[in-house]
Amino acid sequence: MGQNTKAVTDATFEDEVLKATGPVLVDFWAEWCGPCKMIGPSLEDLAAEMTGKVTIAKVNIDDNPLSPSKFGVRSIPTLMLFKDGQLAATKIGAVPKQALQAWLQENI
């Protein structure tokens, strides 16, 4: 877990994501997932570059199975953007940082 992203658990999901002020991008990931590790550094960079505009949270699906099943996560990495407690946009799979940034800009 990097210093710019926030670790979120099933127990803290509601407070950290659904009740958050401002948009929250949730990265559903796992240690064994290669593509998840590929986008990790991009998410760290974006979290630093977009401080104050969006919070980037990470949910380890192995440790926290409730949140991904509640939101129908079937493959990882799955990125879900929440605004005011509502799911606003979803992106599945590893994409380059530029594409992630463009998608985020479009949706926040």
d(CA 47, CA 22): 13
The stretch 7-27 carries a mean pLDDT of 97
Q: Would you tell me which CATH number, out of the four given (3.10.450.50, 3.50.50.60, 3.40.30.10, 3.30.1330.200), belongs to the domain 6-107? A: 3.40.30.10
1: pLDDT strictly greater than 70: no
Mean pLDDT, rounded, for 45-73: 97
Per domain, the residue ranges of the chain are 6-107
- At 20, which amino acid appears? A
Distances from the Cα of 90 to the Cαs of 2, 3, 13, 24, 38, in angstroms?
22, 24, 17, 12, 18
Instruction: Report the predicted TM-score, pTM, of the whole model to 2 decimal places.
Output: 0.96
Examine the residue annotation and report whether 33 is marked as an active-site residue of this protein.
yes
For residue 98, give the DSSP letter. Answer: H
2 pLDDT exceeds 80? no
CA–CA dist 50, 27 (Å, integer): 16
Q: What is the pLDDT of residue 31?
A: 96
- Is the pLDDT confidence value at 3 over 90? no
Q: Tell me which of 26, 36, 50, 59 is the catalytic residue.
A: 36
The answer to whether 21 and 75 are in contact (CB under 8 A) is no
Per the residue annotation, which of 8, 17, 24, 33 is the catalytic one?
33
pLDDT at residue 26 in the model: 98
- 26 belongs to the catalytic site: no
**Phi, psi at residue 44, to the nearest 5°?**
-60, -45
